Structure 1
Amino acid sequence: MPATAPARRAGITLFLLAFAQFIVTVDYNIVYVALPDIGRALGFSAQSLQWVVSAYAVSFGGLLLFGGRAVDRIGARRLFLAGLSLYAVSSLVGGIATGQGVLIGARVVQGVGGALLFPAVLALIATSFDGQARIKAFGVWGMAGSLGLAAGALFGGVLTDLASWRWVFFINVPFALAVLIPAPKVLRPDPAVQSRGGFDLPGALLATAGISAVVFGLVTGPEDGWLSPTPLTALLLGAALLVAFFVTEARTRDPLMPLRLLSNRPLVVAMAVVFIFQTGLSGGYYVFTTYIQPVLGYTPLQAGLAFLPLTLVSMVGAGQLAPKFMQRFGMRATLATGMAVNGAGIALTAAVMTTGGSFPALLPGSVLWGLGGGLVFVSVFASAGSGVAPEEQGVAGAMASTAQQVGGAVGLAALVAVANSTFTGTYATAAKEDVVEGLRTAGIAGGVLLILGGLLALALKKQPPAAEAAAETATETELGPEKQSVGV
């Protein structure tokens, strides 16, 4: 076998994993840009339209712990293929939907696929690369995600303008096939299933039901009223189920989420930081999209182009700056800096919004927003997997991503409520001054929250970056997994 074969295989492996992340993030931004057209075509109200986003968040967030543990028990490669297949099929169904119910249902199933795919990708990166190659791999993964956001915004505008909003879902199908066809030959086979231990079915059911109920309550609260029966019952039921989940996990020999992982400081800090990060980010994207389309009157294509500076800068932050910052300054400084810069960017972007505003006025804030977001996204998930054994990388990634999804639901619910508090009816009938006032307030609030959230990153132990790398290498050597340690 040629001497370059391991390096070539590592490169192809990383390409497939990064492209899977690209697919997920393309869908995220492509849907945001298409929301106004989807709302008009299927008759969504201003509040109910958030369900096109939130339905995915409910199922994705609710099933992440299940998906993460399934990755550890069944195998990351198997769940990668299953999740991506489910993602493709549900995207096809979403594209042919003719009613709100079918589209929302497709988004729910898409969330299930994402809940299997996301922890599988993180686990495959964590167990396929070693040392500095792992940091670089996470950088490429984050850059692919940022590229997906940029491409999603552009694709969403082009496809919605030139074809139909339906193509923002159809586009996922050929993308998924491009990964599914070569992946079985490229990704290393999983260990035998029987070697992975048992599966905590009661814990899986309680976690899924509990988290789903909490997210459901959060996304229905702004529309129905927080004290209305539906959101209030969902939140109380979700809280009770999660209490039962933790009690069950403490008594189970082979738990879905080993509670000892909560003593892993980098993982817990990552969960707290990514919760706040996604809270501000989800609201920020909503504010930005609403401002440039209903307020400034941009077409979907123009809206897609308006997202490009933000997401391309984010790609640079994730792929180029984040790995260098982590190597030179460590995870603690990278996380704290990224949160502060990201929050300042979102707040500045919102602060300059006026009824007679222009796109150039949004650029300074967008640049800061993108740079900070790239730093946070890579370093927070690298932190989540730090010091976690290979056989528990799936659940560790799922714990961090669960916090991210719940944070996104909280942020979208809270900041949409703030943004819509200054007017009644729809964006088409409301006075632009009232709409802009709400959007500006919501965006600044989200940005300030992110800046304050950066203080949580300081809870990480302050270590010289070289010591961090040495400690990680020592842990991995002690655990003894076979990994690809070639350069990326």
Structure 2
Amino acid sequence: MSDTTTASTPQGSFLATGRGKITLALLCAVTFLDVMDGSIVNVALPTIRTDLGFSVQNLQWVVSGYLITYGGFLLLGGRAGDLLGRRRLLIAGTVLFAASSLACGLAAGQGMLVGGRLAQGFGAAMMSPAALSILTTTFQGADRHKALGVWAGISGAASAVGLLFGGLLTQEFGWRWVFFVNLPMCALVLFGALRILKTDHRRSVPGDFDALGAILVTAGMLLLIFTLVKAPDAGWGAGRTIGGLVASAALMAAFGVNEQRRAHPLVPLSIFRIKGLAAADATQVIAWAGFYSMFFFVTLYMQNVLGYSQLRSGLAYVPVSVGIGFGSTVATKMFVRTGTRPIIVSGALLAAGGILWLSRIPVDGTYLGNLLVPLVIMGTGLGLLYAGVQTAANAGVPEDQAGLAAALITTSFQLGSALGLAVFSGIATSRTNHLLAAHASPAQALTAGFQRALLIGALCLVAAGAIALRASNTRGEPAGTPETRHNPKPSYDPA
């Protein structure tokens, strides 16, 4: 039985009960809130810059600050949930997220806003793996397939919805409301966590906690994501960039050595022996490098080339959310018949086709003629791929490591997003600057840069599909028991 709520039983479906539906809605609200906050600020950035006097260079910290702490603390947050209690960590993270959202909305200066965003990311790093691990240990069998499909659909659509909300709130109420909107949602999450989820208990004594491992992995992840975020400005060949990547690799290597020597490691390396988990994480990194940068460049294209308003740009992504929901729904129904591999590969190739189509956007493009259809195709592929990856990454994971597995797949999402934005921004900027030097118009130069970056993004999705071809074909089997941690049985289709 889960330490949170009653799981599905052979006698009936927990998800079919009112309590089961409310539990799933509560957990999905957490991922919606965390993922949405990574994008909701984007369309408000010009207004924030004018109001608080940000320079162009410092303005990126309003977005990057959240991504750095969110990605940097995920592994620590996930394992802490396994050891200290997932409900407890979910509540603590939500309180921190709410307090920092209030601070951001009330910010009178640059430092307070950036500091609040850093704290928001830390809160999200506690909330997200706790919620996903509660989901995977609460629902079993067919319920688990459906729950993960809904989770994936909500997570995948949250970025697009964030852009819509960001445009609407900024235009109608002001930029501060992109942060204030979090407060009622956090209140609902806290109320639900206290009333719906059962109290969990500490799983370890203080001496069991791997403090050195926590410091090493957190420092390594923070430095890696920080370096990737700053790379487009500093340059990939700059000493600062190379030094950051080398130092991050050294910290992660030291972390690996430490984990092998610890009796109670923060990240038991045996988890990577679970079939399908490593391949799912790798697929997530490569796929989201393409997905996240696509949202970034298409938004810039709509606003800077086509002249769309913030609200119109947000509304343009509504059909994407529909496509994501459709894809995740189809994936949920197909898992038992086909396994995850065909779902992930199909989603990757479908999304690659949509982004490849987008890479042909013209300077004088229109929404109906050049954006709508490829965005819906891409969204459908995203829904298929994301649902498949989430299921593959959590299948066969022992219950006492569910938080860690959830943190690993969410870290892959954050790492892929930061990596894609860093690399593809450099590609787009280089192409644009070259054409500007050749006296092309700004619109032509920008569009050509976006085209090249989107083309590489499409190739990333093809590569993600190729990785998925070599992954095990799990049908989303329930988590194993703690006793099988060191010798897991294959939870996959040998074919």
TM-score by length of 1: 0.90
Is this contact kept in 2: 1:74–1:196, CA < 8 A?
no
Alignment partner, residue 143 of structure 2? 133
Give the counterpart letter for 1:272 in structure 2: A
Q: Which of the residues 377, 380, 388 maps onto 2:389?
A: 380
Alignment partner, residue 488 of structure 2? none
CA distance in 1, matches of 2:465, 2:12: 42
Q: Deviations over 1:225-273 (max 9, x none)?
A: 2233433322221111111011101111111111111222311011100
Segments of 5+ residues of structure 1 without an aligned counterpart are: 481-488
Alignment partner, residue 250 of structure 2? 240
Question: Could you tell me the percent identity over the aligned residues?
Answer: 38
Asked if 1:347 corresponds to 2:356, the answer is: yes
- In structure 2, relative to structure 1, the CA distance for the partners of 1:56 and 1:44 (3 Å cut) is same
CA distance in 2, matches of 1:322, 1:4: 23
CA distance in 1, matches of 2:264, 2:483: 22
Query: Deviation at 1:26?
Result: 2.5
Alignment partner, residue 304 of structure 1? 314
Alignment partner, residue 452 of structure 2? 441
Alignment partner, residue 367 of structure 2? 359
Give the counterpart letter for 2:460 in structure 1: L
Greater relative contact order structure (CA < 8 Å, 6+ sep): 1
CA distance in 2, matches of 1:474, 1:20: 22
Alignment partner, residue 73 of structure 1? 83
CA distance in 2, matches of 1:14, 1:310: 23
TM-score by length of 2: 0.89
Give the counterpart letter for 1:328 in structure 2: R
CA distance in 1, matches of 2:206, 2:147: 26
Asked if 1:209 corresponds to 2:219, the answer is: yes
- Count how many residue pairs are aligned between Structure 1 and Structure 2: 468
Is this contact kept in 2: 1:161–1:299, CA < 8 A?
no
CA distance in 2, matches of 1:5, 1:310: 31
- In structure 2, relative to structure 1, the CA distance for the partners of 1:474 and 1:251 (3 Å cut) is closer
Query: Deviation at 1:65?
Result: 0.8
Alignment partner, residue 3 of structure 2? none
Alignment of 1:243-262 (within 5 A): 243-262=253-272
Alignment partner, residue 458 of structure 1? 469
CA distance in 2, matches of 1:255, 1:181: 33
- In structure 2, relative to structure 1, the CA distance for the partners of 1:416 and 1:5 (3 Å cut) is closer
Alignment partner, residue 21 of structure 1? 31
Q: Report the 3-state secondary structure (helix = DSSP H, G, I; strand = E; otherwise coil) of the residue aligned with 2:73.
A: helix
- In structure 2, relative to structure 1, the CA distance for the partners of 1:294 and 1:250 (3 Å cut) is same
- In structure 2, relative to structure 1, the CA distance for the partners of 1:299 and 1:283 (3 Å cut) is same
Bigger drift between 131-140 and 192-201 goes to 192-201
Query: Deviation at 1:36?
Result: 3.5
Alignment partner, residue 338 of structure 1? 347
Give the counterpart letter for 2:362 in structure 1: T
Q: Which of the residues 418, 421, 445 maps onto 1:412?
A: 421
CA distance in 2, matches of 1:373, 1:324: 16
Give the counterpart letter for 1:457 in structure 2: A
Give the counterpart letter for 1:359 in structure 2: Y
Alignment of 1:164-313 (within 5 A): 164-194=174-204, 198-313=208-323
- In structure 2, relative to structure 1, the CA distance for the partners of 1:236 and 1:390 (3 Å cut) is same
Alignment of 1:98-117 (within 5 A): 98-117=108-127
Alignment partner, residue 377 of structure 2? 368
Query: Deviation at 1:479?
Result: 7.1
Is this contact kept in 2: 1:342–1:450, CA < 8 A?
yes
Asked if 1:118 corresponds to 2:128, the answer is: yes
CA distance in 2, matches of 1:380, 1:456: 12
Segments of 5+ residues of structure 2 without an aligned counterpart are: 1-10, 486-495
- In structure 2, relative to structure 1, the CA distance for the partners of 1:227 and 1:100 (3 Å cut) is farther
Alignment partner, residue 491 of structure 2? none
- In structure 2, relative to structure 1, the CA distance for the partners of 1:253 and 1:445 (3 Å cut) is same
CA RMSD, Structure 1 to Structure 2 (Å): 2.5
Give the counterpart letter for 1:321 in structure 2: V
Query: Deviation at 1:152?
Result: 2.0
Is this contact kept in 2: 1:314–1:373, CA < 8 A?
yes
Q: Point out the structure with the larger helix share.
A: 1
Is this contact kept in 2: 1:129–1:137, CA < 8 A?
yes
Alignment of 1:322-333 (within 5 A): 322-333=331-342
Is this contact kept in 2: 1:30–1:155, CA < 8 A?
yes
Query: Deviation at 1:40?
Result: 4.1
Alignment partner, residue 443 of structure 2? 432
- In structure 2, relative to structure 1, the CA distance for the partners of 1:230 and 1:95 (3 Å cut) is farther
CA distance in 1, matches of 2:342, 2:60: 34
CA distance in 2, matches of 1:154, 1:474: 36
Query: Deviation at 1:102?
Result: 2.6
